[in-house]
Amino acid sequence: MPARSCWQPGKTPNTTDLGLEHVGINVDQKYAIPVSPALQTMQPHVYAVGDVTNLPKRLETTAGKERTLAVENALTGSAKSIDYDAVPSTVFTDPQLAGVGLTEAEQMQRLGISACRTISFEGVPRMGVHILALHAASWSLKR
Ligand SMILES: Cc1cc2nc3c(=O)[nH]c(=O)nc-3n(C[C@H](O)[C@H](O)[C@H](O)COP(=O)(O)OP(=O)(O)OC[C@H]3O[C@@H](n4cnc5c(N)ncnc54)[C@H](O)[C@@H]3O)c2cc1C
């Protein structure tokens, strides 16, 4: 079998020329704007969403939801946030990889214990699912 490689370049938030330092907002070591779960920056009246933040997912869907919640929080004083553990994601490899919930490694890191095992779909009401299969993206959307 020929050698194969997977290139995952990553993304750096484009924050250097925004002048954030002039309004008292710092970026972290990855140039991301730290925000609270309610999407507030270090200046609580300034909200940030999407790829410029240090939030755990960088997706179109989460960026859109964050925008909606940030506006609602800013206008109503609410503190709504996203449960990122419940956000499904897909890697468009062949076969595709789709998942939702914690991986075994993440669960071990957070809880120090994991009871991962292979079971049928019918027995998976609320747990994490990670699929490596043809059209895995569609599987994650159907459930
Ligand atoms: C190759 C690729 C494939 C992707 N595929 C998927 C996918 O299949 N599904 C998915 O959910 N997500 C995908 N993403 C991620 C998704 O595109 C981003 O997470 C999402 O667009 C983030 O939205 P945003 O509004 O934060 O940033 P953006 O959509 O990047 O919008 C930022 C906007 O700000 C503008 N801007 C930048 N700097 C300045 C400045 N200094 N002043 C004024 N304006 C500025 C930019 O021009 C841009 O219009 C993909 C990303 C890439 C790069």
13-34 confidence digits (pLDDT tens)? 999 999 999 999 999 999 999 9
Please check the confidence at residue 12 and state whether its pLDDT lies above 80. yes
Q: What is the pLDDT of residues 69-94, one digit of tens each?
A: 999 999 999 999 999 999 998 888 88
Domains of the chain: 20-84 (3.50.50.60)
State the Cα–Cα distance between residues 32 and 48, nearest whole angstrom: 10
CB-based contacts of 124, cutoff 8 Å, min separation 6: 143
Identify the H or E element spanning 81.
none
pLDDT computed for residue 112 by the predictor: 94
Q: Mean pLDDT across the chain, nearest whole number?
A: 87
Q: Determine the residue of 53, 60, 84 to mutate for testing ligand 1's pocket, defined as the one with the most ligand atoms within 8 A of the Cβ atom.
A: 60
How far, in Å, CA of 57 to CA of 133, rounded?
A: 22
Residue 42 has pLDDT above 90, yes or no: yes
Nearest CA to ligand 1 atom 40: 18
CB 50 near ligand 1, within 6 Å: yes
142: pLDDT strictly greater than 60: no
Among candidates 61, 49, 82, 83, which has minimal Cα distance to 137?
61
User: What is the structure's pLDDT at 125?
Assistant: 65
- Per-residue pLDDT, 101: 86
Cα 122 to ligand 1 centroid, rounded to whole Å:
36
